[in-house]
Amino acid sequence: MRTRDVAIVSFAQAPLDQPPGMSETTLLLPTITEALERVGLTRRDVGFTCSGSADYLTGGTFTFVQMLEAAGAWPPISESHVEMDGAWALYEAYVRLLHGDVDVALVYASGRAGLSVSLRETLALQNDPYYLVPLGADYVSLAALQAKAVLAATGRTERDLAEIVARARRDAKTSANAAVAGDFAIDELLAKDHLVAPLREHDIGPPVDGAAAAVLVAGDRARDLVERPAWIAGIDHRADPHYPGMRDLARSASSTLAGEKARVHEGGVEIAELTTVCSADELVLRDALRLGDDVAITPSGGSLVGNATMVDGLARIGAAFRHTSEGRAQRALGHASSGPCLQQNLVCVLEARA
Amino acid sequence: MTATWKLEFPYRRSVGPVIGAFLGGLRDRTVYGVRTAGGRVLVPPLEYDPDTGEEAGEMVEVGQSGVVRHAAWISEPLRNHPVDRPFAWALVQLDGADTTLLHAFDAGSPDAATTGTRVRIRWAEQTEGKITDIACFEPETSS
Amino acid sequence: MKEPVQFMSQLTAVEYRVPEASALAQRIGSAIAESRIIGHACPECGKVYVPPRGYCPLCSVPTRDANEVDVQPRGTITTFSVITPLQYQGQEEKDDYVQATILLDGTHSTIGMQRINGVAIADVHTGMRVAAKWRPESERVLSGGAGRNLALGEAIAGWEPTGEPDAPLSEYADYIV
């Protein structure tokens, strides 16, 4: 099968600072406009649109349909939606462009995690209805079990977790999407009480509202729009068994496999933007993706400074896009995750070249 | 102060023969796992082998005691959690099982909830064929 | 083992915050409290939306306070249903009533779920010209936001025929829904 080269040519994310009462549609509309206008495109140039969001966050069935107005759905457009992080919408758009009949795809994602009285309770409903939902097992409690597993298996400590958090907050000082940023002393972080041991509150990214959009273009059209497109050198996603007790939580076999299929190490990466809602996730993923000390990890600050549920993964790929297109790396990867204890993982490797 | 609203759905879920056998076993205060073609006993059971994708095989009874593989102490349980005082989330490998069951361990203190601790099921007073028929785990040595 | 379980009951409950009203929603609510209906006219295509959404869905551009227009509480029924109220717990309606979609004069988006009063149900028809009857100010209960029906149901008792000749189909055919 002949395949085409597909590149990300543009990415935009709504800043955290917004007037009150913004809906996902009103957050998305200027974000999509910005992503398109950056490369001189309009909504009319788009051949396929794909979005990611979760109706669980709004509490209304089919609310994702309302967001379509932000994409400009008249005259009728070819579009699709996944009840997933926008990274998976990007994957679908990538596959669609491989067909060859369409050159430009718009991908967007949104989520208002702030609408839940308790995001922990809301997301707990997405787990196995027979074995986990009746226990109210929430993502923080599950992440804590995984944290225990990876600390035990690797000999890392809670200090290592605090260092990950401090680094993320330091890196995020100039980010428009950080709910928390700045310099934090390790010992001060470690002095706080546990939320669910070994995790403290700062080990979990604070839930925030989010909206982001990316533009994918195939073949020569990408070169017409930007000088050095960020080509998708590899993209893949895999899933582990859902039930946490079925697998070794210190490892992420699905991340390892996705990384191999995305050809991370055929050229390596200088920067890896990882979706780590919990600090311990970084320990699991670095090992799973075999990222050495020479790889800069999530210099955007990532989910630990602001967990934009449903947008995180697309935003990591967007950050990887910015690193490559702004010349900070020739190859960078963006990673997305979904499901309890890093159950499903997507890896996207971008390579900037003319 | 913000107003809140609640969305409720009353579900009646069909469970299928494999999960149904497991839940039926819990109702009767027994625990069943499923044996894969490769010989692993999965508890709780899945309809298929996660390693090969093959259909799971026969149901086998496993023990009601086991060992904690990992435990995470929670000092402020949420309202939906199985225990309403501080407890440890635990992954417990029951005797005869090759996987761990995720549940609450009413250990009493964080020091009593460590890897290697032997635990046993504390059954609910009334069982009804749900995972919560296991009220929680307790130390095997408790009277 | 005795019988396997066949069904598992599960009450799922999630709690959400009522989102803060945006500045625009508050403005819409204030206007309704003063018996005024406002719309936004798109700066590019000129279409008028009621209630204003803060953007034009066709041109994908923002609309702002500067684009605000006053809309007369007068329009044409584009479609309607006769509702026979199911007597479920909490139901306050007893008799059949008409719920209609109305295209207000000068606008390009309809408002739905509006009550039609002052006319026999059998006489209600599409194309019928109606005008709003506001509730006395003391009886208006405003939720402080613009819902799907513009929160008018809380400020407007219903819409009644004006007695004008019907609007021709050509005027509202593109706005039936």
Annotate A130-189 with DSSP letters as a single string: TTTGGGT--HHHHHHHHHHHHHHHH---HHHHHHHHHHHHHHGGG-TT-SS-S---HHHH
Running DSSP on this structure, what letter comes out for residue A338? E
- Minimal Cβ distance to C4: which of B13, B21, B30: B21
- Minimal Cβ distance to A134: which of B43, B74, B132: B132
- Those of residues 47-66 in B touching chain C at CB distance below 8 A are 59
pLDDT digits (tens, 9 = 90+) for C61-116: 999 999 999 999 999 999 999 999 999 888 888 999 999 999 999 999 999 989 99
Cα(A51)–Cα(A70) distance, rounded to whole angstroms? 11
Q: Where are the domains of chain C?
A: 23-175
Q: Are A29 and A70 in contact (CB under 8 A)?
A: yes
Cα(A134)–Cα(B11) distance, rounded to whole angstroms? 12
Q: What is the mean predicted confidence (pLDDT) over C33-56?
A: 94
What pairs with residue B4 in β-bridges?
C17
- The per-residue pLDDT for C177 is 61
Does the beta-carbon distance from A30 to C58 stay under 8 Å?
A: no
Cα(C12)–Cα(B9) distance, rounded to whole angstroms? 5
- Minimal Cβ distance to A132: which of B4, B23, B102: B102
Return mean pLDDT, chain A. Answer: 96
Tell me which residue has tokens 């298996």: A153
The alpha-carbon gap from A307 to the nearest alpha carbon of chain B, in Å, equals: 20
Chain A positions touching B46 (Cβ under 8 A) are: 241, 243, 246
> pLDDT: is C14 or C33 the higher one?
C14
CB pairs under 8 A between A and C: 71
Does the beta-carbon distance from A29 to C55 stay under 8 Å?
A: yes
Establish if C62 touches chain A: CB-CB under 8 angstroms: yes
pLDDT digits (tens, 9 = 90+) for A317-328: 999 999 999 999
Chain C positions touching A30 (Cβ under 8 A) are: 62
pLDDT digits (tens, 9 = 90+) for A17-67: 999 889 999 999 999 999 999 999 999 999 999 999 998 898 877 788 888
Neighbours of chain A (3+ CB pairs under 8 A): B, C
Is the previous residue joined to A19 through a cis bond, with omega within 30 degrees of 0? Answer: no
The alpha-carbon gap from B3 to the nearest alpha carbon of chain C, in Å, equals: 5
Asked whether the predicted pLDDT for residue C145 surpasses 70, the reply is no
Annotate C106-163 with DSSP letters as a single string: T-SS-EEEEEE-SS-GGG--TT-EEEEEEPPGGG----SS--TTTTHHHHEEEEEE--
Cα(C143)–Cα(C129) distance, rounded to whole angstroms? 28
List helix spans (H) across A38-138. 55-58, 63-71, 86-98, 119-124
Report the Cα C40 to chain-centroid distance in Å.
16
- The per-residue pLDDT for C32 is 87
Does the beta-carbon distance from C3 to B24 stay under 8 Å?
A: yes
Site from A69, A123, A127, A135 to mutate, C interface, most C CB atoms within 10 angstroms: A69
Asked whether the predicted pLDDT for residue C147 surpasses 50, the reply is no
**Distant-in-sequence, close-in-space partners of A253: CB < 8 Å, separation ≥ 6:** A238, A240, A247, A288
Alpha carbon separation from B133 to B28, B127, B136 (Å, rounded): 9, 5, 9
Cα(C61)–Cα(A30) distance, rounded to whole angstroms? 8
Report the Cα C68 to chain-centroid distance in Å.
18
Report the Cα A181 to chain-centroid distance in Å.
19
Which amino acid does the sequence have at A85? D
Question: How many helices and strands in chain C, by DSSP H and E?
Answer: 3, 11
Establish if B104 touches chain A: CB-CB under 8 angstroms: yes
Total count of residues recorded for chain B: 143
pLDDT < 70: residue spans in chain A: 1-2
Establish if C177 touches chain A: CB-CB under 8 angstroms: no
Which amino acid does the sequence have at A243? Y
CB pairs under 8 A between B and C: 75
Q: Which two tokens stand for residue A266?
A: 């055929």
The HSE-up count of residue A226 (CA atoms within 13 Å, CB side) is: 27
Chain A positions touching B78 (Cβ under 8 A) are: 118, 120-121, 136, 138
Chain C positions touching B11 (Cβ under 8 A) are: 9-12
Closest CA to C24 of C61, C51, C56: C51
Q: Are B37 and C6 in contact (CB under 8 A)?
A: no
Total count of residues recorded for chain A: 354
What chain C residue is nearest to B6 in terms of C-alpha separation?
Answer: C15
Site from A145, A161, A193, A204 to mutate, B interface, most B CB atoms within 10 angstroms: A145
Angle at which helices A312-325 and A86-98 pack, to 10 degrees? 60
- Those of residues 15-34 in C touching chain B at CB distance below 8 A are 15-18, 20
Cα(C48)–Cα(C42) distance, rounded to whole angstroms? 6
Neighbours of chain C (3+ CB pairs under 8 A): A, B
Total count of residues recorded for chain C: 177
pLDDT < 50: residue spans in chain B: none
Q: State whether residue A19 is helix, strand or coil.
A: coil
Chain A positions touching C4 (Cβ under 8 A) are: none
**Distant-in-sequence, close-in-space partners of C177: CB < 8 Å, separation ≥ 6:** C78, C79, C101, C110
